[in-house]
Amino acid sequence: MSTTPKLSKSPWVVHFNCNSCNGCDIEFLALLTPHYDVERFGIVHVGNPKHADVLVVTGSVNHRNARVLKNVYDQIPDPKVVVAMGVCASTGGIFADGYNVLGGIAKVIPVDVYVPGCASRPEAMMDGIVKAAVILEAKRRNPKAVQAGQPVVVRTPSAAPAAAAAIPQKEIPQPC
Amino acid sequence: MITSHPLMLLALLTLIAPFWGALLSGIDRKLTARAQGRIGPPVIQPLYDTLKLLRKTPIVLNRIQVVYAYLHLAFMVLAFLLLVLGQDGLMFLFVFAFSTLSLVLGGMCVRSPYSRIGSQREILLMVAYEPILILLMIGIYKANGSFLLGSPFVAAKPLLMALPLLFLAFLVVMAIKLQKSPFDIATSHHAHQELVKGLTLEYAGPYLALIEIAHFYEIAILFYFVMLFWASNLAIGFVLACASFFLMVLIDNAFARLTTMWVFRFMWTGALLLALTNILWLYFR
């Protein structure tokens, strides 16, 4: 153990709403209230991906927003981690069968922590972000240690929904 | 004794100043959290944040942007040195202003509209508070017969006795420089969504850390400057500075952010009137 402070001491979070019903977003913003007080973990909610360490995504990804999500992800300086917040961001949720829906955000960007739930409880979200902060430090120490695209932690209260297995594999539209 | 040599003492002060600024900033965050019924981050959270930023991958839009980040820090350190060495107050103001100006130019040299709006607001803030600072220097001259910032230490009476109204005006300037509500319109510690952080929007990783460190120096400069108002007894000066700092936290939590033009009008009527009254009183007493 080194004596230098870890990156996990100050995860700055940028929140991106992909295609969410806003349920997860309301629960996420509840984290900032005095009741949950995420600032005690050093978590700051920033509006700018260039200042962020953790990307929190709510909602499923579709053809229109895949490019935007990738763009936001690319603007975060390394090391960075992604948290899929809610079942829609994890697998596509109830929107998975939609003709325009690609599925979970893992189809576009590598995800480190899954926090399922509809909507996820604020406690589970907090837990997910704190776990993501630990992965952030692991990534700084050894960027190769954490495989991109491989979920490291799944904060799951139950099995993945049955519909998740039936998500048709669709091509992600290339940015033009 | 290693601190006996003046240069050693100066180097020590320059090293300690950003940590002092970070500590004050951390206490600010803790007090704010307690005022809102939260637990809040650890007191040394600003240090964690800065060290983290230093380890992130730098993202640079253009080279000039980086130069301005370094200049911002360099001029802030120079302003701190001028202040601690008790040099010419007008020179101190010039260097201090150029430090802020570097930040503005850094915000202007990118294409982000939010960064530019933040920079324009910062310029407006400078126009709003610079007259107060210049009047403060004139006040120091009238009170002590010298523009030197070391003069309050040798003066017979504390500066606060001669400049009570200018002190109040300076507190408002302090609130602006510390980015406190209702004056945090260019960039803010809270509510990052508004203007998406404004002035420092396009800085990332280590370059944002440079700006953070410069801000810690800025906090230390303002703290030291308040101490100058009671420089004959630095213990009282320290208490005065702590009280002023606590007042800043109180104001920050008690007020909502106001519009740019409101800040401008307030500074050029209320604060300027206070400062001018004090100067006139110094002339005619």
Interface confidence, given as ipTM, is 0.81
Contact A140 B51 (CB under 8 A): no
Give this prediction's pTM. Answer: 0.86
Confidence grade of residue A158 (pLDDT, cut at 50, 70, 90) = very low
Domain boundaries, chain A: 7-143
How many C-beta atoms surround the C-beta of residue A152 within 10 A?
18
User: What pLDDT does residue A160 have?
Assistant: 47
- Of the candidates B45, B56, B192, the beta carbon closest to that of A45 is on B192
Q: What is the mean pLDDT of chain A?
A: 80
Domain boundaries, chain B: 56-284
Confidence of residue A10 (pLDDT cuts 50, 70, 90): confident
* Alpha carbon of A111: minimum distance to chain B alpha carbons (Å): 19
> Rounded to an integer, what distance in angstroms lies between the CA atom of residue A8 and that of residue A135?
8
Q: Nearest 5°: CA angle at B241, between B29 and B124?
A: 70
The structure tokens listed for A114 are 């899954």
B54 at A interface, C-beta within 8 A = no
pLDDT on residue B139: 92
B56 touches chain A (CB under 8 A): yes
Q: Which pLDDT belongs to residue A152?
A: 52
Give, for B237, the enclosing helix (H) or strand (E).
Answer: helix B234-254
Confidence at residue B3, expressed as pLDDT on a 0 to 100 scale = 58
User: For the segment B57-79, what is each residue's pLDDT rounded down to a tens digit?
Assistant: 888 888 888 999 999 999 999 99
Query: With DSSP H G I counted as helix, E B as strand and the rest as coil, what are the percentages for chain B, rounded to 5?
Result: 75, 0, 25
Nearest by CB to A40, which of B37, B39, B203?
B39
**Inter-chain CB proximity B29 and A39 less than 8 Å:** yes
pLDDT band at A161 (very low <50, low <70, confident <90, very high): very low
Residues of A in contact with B208 (CB under 8 A): 51
CA separation for the pair B27, B257 (Å, rounded)? 21
- Tell me the nearest-neighbour CA distance from A35 into chain B, angstroms: 7
From A79, which residue of chain B is nearest by alpha-carbon distance? B56
From chain B, pick out residues whose CB is under 8 angstroms from the CB of A42. 41-42, 45, 48-49
Q: How far is A143 from chain B (nearest CA, A)?
A: 12
Q: Which residues of B touch A50 (CB under 8 A)?
A: 59, 201-204
Fold adopted by A7-143? Rossmann fold (3.40.50)
- What is d(CA B34, CA B61) in angstroms, rounded to the nearest whole number? 39
pLDDT digits (tens, 9 = 90+) for A41-68: 888 888 889 889 999 999 999 888 889 9
What are B25's strand-pairing partners?
Answer: none
Whether residue A7 has pLDDT greater than 80: no
Using the structure block, give the residue that is written with the tokens 């103001």: B93
* A140-A143-A147-A151 Cα dihedral, nearest 10 degrees: 10
Mean pLDDT of chain B: 88
pLDDT of residue B259: 83
Residue A74 distance to chain B (closest CA, Å): 11
